[in-house]
Amino acid sequence: MLNTVIFDLDGTLLDTLDDLSNSVNYALYQHGLPQRTQAEVRRFLGNGIQSLMRQAVGQDTLSEADFDTVFRTFRAHYVEHCLDRTQPFPGIISMLQQLQDHGIKMAIVSNKLHEAVQELNRRFFSDYIDIAVGESATVRRKPNPDAVHCALEQLGSRREEALYVGDSEVDWQTARNAGLRVALVEWGFRDADFLHTFSPVSFFARTADELTQWTIEHKG
């Protein structure tokens, strides 16, 4: 039986790469550090923005105090520019509409701060999704399963009824830690060949339409 879908946010529902890359390179430039390509930033994503910036800066390049200064510059710029080019991936809105029409319960879990996750959900997905959970004092970052457990509790769903949908190794591990089936999408921040090295995976989705049809077919 499948009646619930828990979605990752960045790289799964939302294409945030341009805005993140621009803010990363703004912060690096402001502090005299080498710029990063978009491909590098894409590879650094998945474990939250502090991990993103630590990899962008480079291990052991700066003292902790200097890193904090760079990170604050990045965060301030991203807060101002996080919606410049961010938008849902192609087919996402249609997918959410169809899943809603078929009675599928849905939630978002993310490694962004809880308030930011809720705001992005309100802006882009609130017609379809009511539950959005991010990192907080009581919810640890993925791959800890806290956010998934919180979402399932709010939805009134059991893990046996739920599918986790993400785009990275962090999402695969999160689903494993939470005891959920997992589908990995190939349009996000990891290459398809890399994603196919993970097992077990219930479904690899090349498009949102494929994911929609698979989910509806497996609805309990």
CA–CA gap between residue 59 and residue 38 (Å, rounded): 19
CA–CA gap between residue 39 and residue 104 (Å, rounded): 34
Sign for the pseudo-dihedral over CA of 172, 199, 12, 18: positive
Q: Scanning the structure block, which residue is given the tokens 């956010």? A: 147
Q: Specify burial of residue 80 (Cβ count, 10 A radius: 0-12, 13-18, 19+).
A: exposed
pLDDT in single tens digits along all 220 residues of the chain: 899 999 999 999 999 999 999 999 999 999 999 999 999 999 999 888 899 999 999 977 789 999 999 999 999 999 899 899 999 999 999 999 999 999 999 999 999 989 889 999 999 999 999 999 999 999 999 999 999 999 999 999 999 999 999 999 999 999 999 999 999 999 999 999 999 999 999 999 999 999 999 999 999 7
Of 8, 19, 146, 167, which one is the catalytic site residue?
8
Sign for the pseudo-dihedral over CA of 139, 85, 96, 179: negative
What's the confidence (pLDDT) of residue 193? 97
What's the confidence (pLDDT) of residue 137? 93
What's the confidence (pLDDT) of residue 61? 77
Cβ distance 152 to 162 under 8 Å? yes
101 token code pair? 């029409």
What's the confidence (pLDDT) of residue 47? 86
Q: Scanning the structure block, which residue is given the tokens 């077990």? A: 200
Nearest to 166 by CA among 153, 150, 147: 147
For residue 146, the surrounding DSSP H or E stretch is helix 146-155
What is the percent of the chain where pLDDT is above 90? 92
Q: What is the pTM of this model?
A: 0.93
Q: List, in order of start, the domains of the chain with CATH numbers.
A: 4-15+87-217 (3.40.50.1000), 17-81 (1.10.150.240)
What is the distance in angstroms between the CA of the first residue and the CA of the last residue of the chain? Answer: 4
8 has catalytic annotation:
yes
Cβ distance 15 to 7 under 8 Å? no
Q: Which amino acid is at 18?
A: D
CA–CA gap between residue 52 and residue 27 (Å, rounded): 12
